[in-house]
Chain A
Amino acid sequence: MMHVSADVREDTTRPRADKISVKDLDFYYGDFQALTGITVGIKERGVTAFIGPSGCGKSTFLRCFNRMNDLIPGTKVDGTILVDGEDIYAPGVDPVDLRRRVGMIFQQPNPFPMSIYDNVAFGPRLHGVTKKPELDEIVERSLERANLWKEVKEILPRGGLTLSGGQQQRLCIARVLAVEPDIMLMDEPCSAIDPTSVQKIEDLMDELKDRITIIIVTHNMQQAARVSDETAFFLQEKTGQPAEMVEFGRTAEIFTSPKDRRTEDYITGRFG
C-alpha cells in the first residue's frame, strides 16, 4: 500500500532513530565551495527526499554518503558524516565496503553488459559468494524484492540491456539489494523511465523502506510528496556561493506549511 500518509506511518511504527548524522558539512570541488554548514539527521526505515533547483548541491550531498565524490579529483569534505554512529570519512574506512552498505541507483539505468543473472550475482560474487545454489537463492530473492522476478525468471541468461528502461532500473535495484545494503541512495531514479515503471519503483520504495533507509534526489515535487517521510530543501542563493540546506522536516508539513519562505516559493513554483 503506497499512499499512506506520513502521519499514519509514524503512528504505527516504533520511533525511528537517526541512521545518518551529518554535522557542519562543507563540501568543495577544488576552490569552489559547493555546500556549506549542513547539519541533519536522516532517519532509519524511511524515505528522505532531497529537493531544490538544479545546481543546488543535492546530488553532491547524496554522493557524500557513499563517498562517491572521492572518485572526483580535488574534492574535499569538512565536517562529519556518521552512519550508524561511525565516521565514514575516518582513516581506515574502506570505501568499497561502505558502498556495499550504501547502495546507489542512478538516473540512467546502468545494467552491466552481461546476463540478468550475472548482473544480480555480480556483487555477491565480488564479496566472495561462489556456490551456485547460494547465488541462485540470492538472485531470486533480490529480483523478488525488486518486484522483477515474475517478469524475468524465465529469461535469466538474457542480457540485462535487453530489458525495458523501467525493468533495467529495477534490475539495478535488485543488483544493489543482492549485497544487502542498509541504505539506498537514489539520484533521480525515475526521470528516464515511463509512468508505469515510475509507479512500480515508487511502490517498491515503499516496500523496501521498512528495512532500508532510502534517500532520493528528485526534481519531481509530486514524487517527493508521494514517496517520502521527510524532505530536505536545498538552495544556492547566488551563483558562485555555496548551497545550503534551507529546510528539513516532515514531508506532509513541508508541503502544507513550510517554515521558510524560500521553501514555500520554490515548491509553489514561484522560482526555480
Chain B
Amino acid sequence: MREGFRKELKDLKAEVIGIGRSVIDVTKLATRSLVEGDVDLAAQVIAGDDDLDARCLGIEEHSLEITATQFPVARDLRLLHSLAYIAMHFERMGDLGVNIAKAARRTASRRGPQTLYDLIQAQGNLVHRVLEAMLEALEKNDLELARKLELLDEPIDHLYKQFFRELARLQAEEDIEWASSMVLASRYLERIADHAVDIGERITYMVTGEFEQMGEGTPETDS
C-alpha cells in the first residue's frame, strides 16, 4: 500500500513538472506574440489558460485527497504540500503570461521603437533561463540550483527598470496606451521570474525541511 502511495507522489510531481513545462511555453509564446505583434499567437496563449488552471486545481485536489487518506509525514508531507504550493505559483505565472498576451493584442496595431522590443526579448530570454533552472531544480531536488535562482533573477529586475527608463524617455512621442501596455508586459515578465525564485525557496524547504528566506527580488515599483 505504501508503494502505491509513493507512486502517487511520484506521478503528482511529474504532473507538476509537466505544468511547469507548459508555463515555460506560455511565457515564451506570450513574449513572442508581444515582440512580433502576433495577435493569433496571443489568442492561442489566452485560450490555453483555462486548461492550465484546471490542471493546477487538479494538483490541489489530488494533494488534498492524498493528505486525507494517507497521513503523509516528514519528507512526503513536505513534498505534497510543496507541490500544491508550486502549482499555485504556476497558475499565477500562467495568468501573467495571459496578461502579456493581452498586452500583445493591445499593442499589435502599432509598431514602436525597436530598442524596446529588443529589451523585452532580452528580458524574456532571461526569464526563460530562470524558469528552466527552476524546473530542473524541482525535478532533481537540486538545492544548489534552487538557491541560484535569485542570482539569475537579478538582471531581469535591472532590465525592467531600464525598460521603464527608456520608455519614459520616449513617452512624449508615443501613444500612452501602447506605452503603458508595454511597461506592464515587462513588469509581468519580471513577476513571473519572482514566482520562480519563490518556488526555489519552496524547493529548498522540500529538500531540507528548513525555510530559507531569499532576498526580495521585486523592484520598488509596484503594479
Contacts and interface: CB of A to CB of B under 8 A. Distances in A.
Interface of A: 221-222, 225, 255-258, 263-264, 267-270
A255 B2 contact: no
Enumerate the 10 nearest inter-chain pairs by beta-carbon distance, A residue then B residue, closest first.
A257-B209, A269-B2, A255-B73, A264-B74, A267-B73, A268-B76, A268-B74, A222-B71, A258-B74, A267-B74
Given A255-B74, A264-B74, A268-B74, 5 more contacts: A222-B71, A257-B208, A257-B210, A268-B72, A269-B5
Contacts of A256: 73-74, 77-78, 209
B74 A257 contact: yes
Interface of B: 2, 5, 71-78, 208-210
Contacts of B2: 269-270
Q: Is the interface of B mostly helix, strand, loop or mixed?
A: helix
Nearest to A256: B77
A222 B77 CA distance: 13
A261 to B, nearest CB: 10
Contacts of A255: 73-74, 77
Contacts of A263: 74
B67 to A, nearest CB: 12
Contacts of B72: 268
20 contacts: A221-B71, A221-B73, A222-B71, A225-B73, A255-B73, A255-B77, A256-B73, A256-B74, A256-B77, A256-B209, A257-B74, A257-B208, A257-B209, A258-B74, A263-B74, A264-B74, A264-B75, A267-B74, A268-B76, A269-B2
Contacts of B76: 268
A269 B71 CA distance: 11
A224 to B, nearest CB: 10
Contact of B75 (A221, A222, A225, A268): A268
A268 B71 CA distance: 9
Nearest to A222: B71
A269 B5 CA distance: 10
A5 B5 CA distance: 26
Nearest to B208: A257
A225 B209 CA distance: 17
Contacts of B78: 256-257
A260 to B, nearest CB: 11
Contacts of B71: 221-222
Contacts of A268: 72-76
Nearest to B209: A257
A255 B78 CA distance: 10
A257 to B, nearest CB: 3
A225 B76 CA distance: 15
B85 to A, nearest CB: 14
A256 B75 CA distance: 7
Nearest to B1: A269
A243 to B, nearest CB: 21
